[in-house]
Chain A
Amino acid sequence: MKLSQLKIGAIGIIKEFTDLEMSVKLMEMGCLPGETIKVERIAPFGDPIAISVSGYQLSLRKREASTIELI
């Protein structure tokens, strides 16, 4: 399952990344394998999304979220 498929309020755990370039940027921002993610809300036009991860909120586009595989 990908992060982009989660509904608002749903929780997942990061398994791996499918894009190396994105993974570098995401990991620097605290999105690491094993980290718990919660989808907090989705922007009015359906994209981007806001997630909670390692204690703060991050927004990212759906396409970027789709490179995150969840357990």
Chain B
Amino acid sequence: MKDRLRIALVGNPNTGKSTIFNALTGLNQKVGNFPGVTVDKKIGFSKLADSTNLEIVDLPGTYSLYPKSADETIVFEVLSDKNNPSYPDLVLIVADATNLKRNLLLYTQIADLGLPIIIALNMMDLALKSNMNIDVDGLAERLNVPVVPIAARKTQGIEELKKAIQYRSSQPFQTSTIDVELIAPDLIKSISTELNLDNPYVALQIAHQYQNISYLTKTQISQIEAFEKQYDFHSQKSQAAETIARYNFINDVLLDTVKYNSVALEENISNKIDHYLTHKIWGFVIFIAILFAIFQSIFAWSEYPMYLIETVFVWLAQIGHQYLPEGALTNLLIDGVLAGLSGVMVFIPQIALLFAFISVLEDTGYMSRVTFMMDRLMRKVGLNGKSVVPMIGGLACAVPSIMSTRTIENWKERIITIMVTPLVSCSARLPIYTLLISLVVPKRYVLGIINLQGLALMSLYVMSIVAAILVAWVMKGIIKSKAKGYFIMELPVYRMPRWNNVGITMFESVKTFVTQAGKVIIAVSIVLWVLASYGPSNRFEKIDAKYNSQSLQQRYSSTEINRLKASEKLESSYAGVLGKSIEPGIKPLGFDWKIGIALITSFAAREVFVGTMATLYSVDGDATKMESVREKMAGAKNTETGLPVFTVASAFSLMMFYAFAMQCMSTMAVVYRETKNIKWPLIQFTYMLVLAYVASFVVYQLLK
């Protein structure tokens, strides 16, 4: 006897799989990977009353075992391959009770794979409200499968579901749905013999999907190909015949078991909402207003928590300098690591808010309306309505957004979406924008309510989206492809957001940001601090000697001397040499060598910018005076001209550079993983760098 019962959760998208998963497993879950593919594998653990241990796998939502997107392939692979490490002992099919007909299609396919099944009939609360009459026992009898009515969102029926799992049968007893063998008798027989299969439907599915199944060998694939030629197998015709046969079975079952008394209530409400939200004019006005409100709130609501975090770090640095012994190590800790961290931690409130808003837009169903409204426009520039989701998600982070492009079936539309998503202003750019805007844009209100700084920030975001669209349009003309794109998408009814879900998203995003960015930042700030504190050969000694000379000692006060000495040392340090060497190239953009250092370090990740600034200006600055990064930068003067470094022209030029340049190794890695061709991340890196340079140059020369 196995020590653990493995259950696979399967169902259409939006049927409540994740809600059930959470209800069954609580917080006892982890995210892993299916071998070979980049689909997240969510596994959770639970225990039954008879102390059986459960291992529950949440599979990607799908309408059918015939995959439409890269993600969905995994469902058939897991359910058909007995050697797959996730092959389940029991399949828990989640079906939406308010939409049984379409949901049962997937049930009939999985039933024919010959695995033990339990059906969780979810959304029963909605079914009751809309006066649907479902004969649950009748349904269970017809299918010969346990059917458990539940309302997962209200955690109703979860205990009954656990009981059903406890009293499950270990054999598949479901009545067969269609006569699979009739569809392609000879081919099914040949494939079954070749692959040693005992289930005809697995053989038929393989006949359709063999090119994308990872557990088949090359010889098996060419053998299947030969069989299909021999028997003149036509995949689409066979699939059409199968689907019609399945719906005949389903209609027959539903005829006796479900009575509809009226149109679903939720749908009526949704229709009324949609009348405004997807309206010709109001739809766009509301969409823009929502985005506008989000950015205004991110600025307004995060102000106070950010101030608190800043204060804490300044206080920590003060304490550190007071109590730690003076020396190189203390300086590294405080001016290197702590300064770098403070520059980043300060943005936790903004990132948490941004992720919270995006998760609300997704959860309510509004995001799919935006997709619906924008499809026509997006298609004009070579994208797909579904590209809107990764692009809005790109406001948070390009990495998960690029992974979410898998829902776009057309290769060309998907590649273009991947190529332009990193242009959309992600949360890592937010710290840079906020910092630079607060330096050069006055904090004033115009027309009473519009915050000038917020307006500047929003313009940057709008610009990034416009740039993404223009680049997409150019690429549409360059990339060649014959396959036509399509757009068949469910519009789910509007639902209230689940606030605990929003909370979890906020928590997870902050956790990832702090650990991921934190690691890079600590490493980079240490390296940077070392580079900034030591120099080639004996340059530092010479500087020391110069300032120890009598004549200078008399001319300047001692603090003045310390400052001059420190900045001259920074200039001759390794970091200074590095910055100086690229200075000629970036001077036309309005940047000095210190910004040059930040640009170089930022190619690992943009988040590093603020930390770099903090480190550089701490090394340079007066150690006895505690200031925030912002204050240090505001006081920064060009070493040659004595003019402020950060003017409107140079600050906006710098923002342009960060807006367009591909300064994120994680994004490049994920683009490579998703396109499986090094060509795409390289093209992306190059075109973005060119754009960044040109944009910065133009902005600086115009504003100067």
B8: shortest Cβ distance to chain A, in Å?
20
Q: Would you call B63 an interface residue if the criterion is a C-beta within 8 Å of the partner chain's C-beta atoms?
A: yes
B93: shortest Cβ distance to chain A, in Å?
16
Q: Kindly specify which of B167-175, B236-244, B615-623, B633-641 makes contact with the partner chain.
A: B236-244
Interface positions, chain A 36-50, Cβ under 8 Å from B, are 40-41, 43-48, 50
Bitwise interface map of A from 35 to 71 toward B, beta carbon under 8 Å scored 1, else 0: 0000011011111101010111111110010000000
CA distance A48 to B156 in the complex (A): 38
CA distance A59 to B243 in the complex (A): 20
Q: Would you call A26 an interface residue if the criterion is a C-beta within 8 Å of the partner chain's C-beta atoms?
A: yes
CA distance A24 to B240 in the complex (A): 5
Q: Would you call B64 an interface residue if the criterion is a C-beta within 8 Å of the partner chain's C-beta atoms?
A: yes
Q: Which residue of chain A has the shortest Cβ distance to B275 in the bound complex?
A: A41
Chain A residues near B274 (CB, 8 Å)?
Answer: 40-41, 50
Interface contact A24-B490, CB-CB below 8 Å: no
Interface contact B99-A58, CB-CB below 8 Å: no
Interface contact A28-B375, CB-CB below 8 Å: no
Interface contact B490-A61, CB-CB below 8 Å: no
Interface contact A28-B63, CB-CB below 8 Å: yes
Interface contact A41-B278, CB-CB below 8 Å: yes
Interface contact A57-B278, CB-CB below 8 Å: no
Chain B residues near A59 (CB, 8 Å)?
Answer: 372, 375, 487-491
Q: A61: which of B105, B237, B260, B487 is its contact (CB, 8 Å)?
A: B487
B124: shortest Cβ distance to chain A, in Å?
15
CA distance A50 to B365 in the complex (A): 15
Q: Would you call A32 an interface residue if the criterion is a C-beta within 8 Å of the partner chain's C-beta atoms?
A: yes
Chain A residues near B376 (CB, 8 Å)?
Answer: 43-48
Knowing A28-B63, A30-B101, the reply to whether A55 touches B264 (Cβ < 8 A) is: yes
CA distance A44 to B281 in the complex (A): 8
Q: Is the interface of B mostly helix, strand, loop or mixed?
A: helix
Interface positions, chain B 267-286, Cβ under 8 Å from A, are 267, 270-271, 274-275, 278-281, 283-284
Interface contact A56-B280, CB-CB below 8 Å: no
Q: Which of the listed residues A30, A32, A40, A44 has the most CB atoms from chain B within 10 Å of its own CB? A: A44
Chain A residues near B99 (CB, 8 Å)?
Answer: 54-56
Knowing A20-B237, A28-B105, the reply to whether A57 touches B243 (Cβ < 8 A) is: no
Q: Which of the listed residues B98, B105, B278 has the most CB atoms from chain A within 10 Å of its own CB? A: B278
Chain B residues near A29 (CB, 8 Å)?
Answer: 63, 102, 488, 490
Q: Would you call B373 an interface residue if the criterion is a C-beta within 8 Å of the partner chain's C-beta atoms?
A: yes
B89: shortest Cβ distance to chain A, in Å?
28
CA distance A55 to B261 in the complex (A): 12
Interface positions, chain B 343-397, Cβ under 8 Å from A, are 372-373, 375-377, 385
Bitwise interface map of B from 235 to 270 toward A, beta carbon under 8 Å scored 1, else 0: 011011001100100000000000010001001001
Interface contact A57-B490, CB-CB below 8 Å: yes
Chain A residues near B105 (CB, 8 Å)?
Answer: 28, 30
Q: Which residue of chain B has the shortest Cβ distance to A48 in the bound complex?
A: B375
B234: shortest Cβ distance to chain A, in Å?
9
CA distance A52 to B260 in the complex (A): 15
Q: Which residue of chain A has the shortest Cβ distance to B371 in the bound complex?
A: A59
Interface contact A61-B375, CB-CB below 8 Å: yes
Interface contact A54-B240, CB-CB below 8 Å: no
Chain B residues near A44 (CB, 8 Å)?
Answer: 278-281, 283-284, 373, 376
B679: shortest Cβ distance to chain A, in Å?
29
Q: Would you call B162 an interface residue if the criterion is a C-beta within 8 Å of the partner chain's C-beta atoms?
A: no
Q: Which residue of chain A has the shortest Cβ distance to B385 in the bound complex?
A: A48
Q: Would you call A10 an interface residue if the criterion is a C-beta within 8 Å of the partner chain's C-beta atoms?
A: no
Q: Would you call B301 an interface residue if the criterion is a C-beta within 8 Å of the partner chain's C-beta atoms?
A: no
Q: Which residue of chain A has the shortest Cβ distance to B235 in the bound complex?
A: A24
Chain A residues near B68 (CB, 8 Å)?
Answer: 25
Interface contact A25-B244, CB-CB below 8 Å: no
Q: B372: which of A20, A21, A28, A43 is its contact (CB, 8 Å)?
A: A43
Q: Would you call B299 an interface residue if the criterion is a C-beta within 8 Å of the partner chain's C-beta atoms?
A: no
Interface contact A50-B372, CB-CB below 8 Å: yes
CA distance A57 to B546 in the complex (A): 79
CA distance A26 to B243 in the complex (A): 10
CA distance A43 to B378 in the complex (A): 13
CA distance A64 to B4 in the complex (A): 47
Interface contact A64-B488, CB-CB below 8 Å: yes
Q: Would you call B486 an interface residue if the criterion is a C-beta within 8 Å of the partner chain's C-beta atoms?
A: yes
Chain A residues near B87 (CB, 8 Å)?
Answer: none
B387: shortest Cβ distance to chain A, in Å?
14
Q: Would you call B680 an interface residue if the criterion is a C-beta within 8 Å of the partner chain's C-beta atoms?
A: no
Q: Would you call A1 an interface residue if the criterion is a C-beta within 8 Å of the partner chain's C-beta atoms?
A: no
Bitwise interface map of B from 46 to 86 toward A, beta carbon under 8 Å scored 1, else 0: 00000000000000000110101000000000000000000
CA distance A46 to B244 in the complex (A): 31
Bitwise interface map of B from 97 to 139 toward A, beta carbon under 8 Å scored 1, else 0: 0111110010000000000000000000000000000000000
CA distance A58 to B64 in the complex (A): 16
Interface contact B489-A58, CB-CB below 8 Å: yes
A60: shortest Cβ distance to chain B, in Å?
5
Chain A residues near B375 (CB, 8 Å)?
Answer: 43, 47-48, 59, 61
CA distance A25 to B410 in the complex (A): 14
Interface contact A58-B486, CB-CB below 8 Å: no
Interface contact B278-A61, CB-CB below 8 Å: no
Q: Which of the listed residues B66, B102, B281 has the most CB atoms from chain A within 10 Å of its own CB? A: B102
Interface contact A26-B283, CB-CB below 8 Å: no
CA distance A64 to B375 in the complex (A): 13
CA distance A17 to B381 in the complex (A): 29
Interface contact B373-A43, CB-CB below 8 Å: yes
CA distance A33 to B375 in the complex (A): 27
A10: shortest Cβ distance to chain B, in Å?
15
Q: B240: which of A20, A41, A48, A55 is its contact (CB, 8 Å)?
A: A20
Q: Identify 18 new A-B residue pairs, CB closer than 8 A, beyond the known A55-B100, A58-B490.
A: A24-B240, A27-B243, A27-B247, A28-B64, A28-B105, A33-B244, A41-B274, A44-B283, A48-B372, A50-B274, A50-B278, A55-B98, A55-B260, A56-B98, A56-B99, A56-B102, A57-B493, A59-B490
The 9 closest A-B pairs by CB, nearest first: A45-B376, A30-B102, A57-B491, A27-B243, A44-B280, A28-B64, A47-B376, A54-B101, A56-B99
Between-chain CB contacts (< 8 Å), 19 pairs:
A24-B66, A24-B240, A25-B68, A26-B488, A27-B240, A27-B243, A28-B105, A29-B63, A40-B271, A40-B274, A41-B278, A48-B375, A48-B385, A54-B101, A58-B489, A59-B372, A59-B489, A59-B491, A61-B486
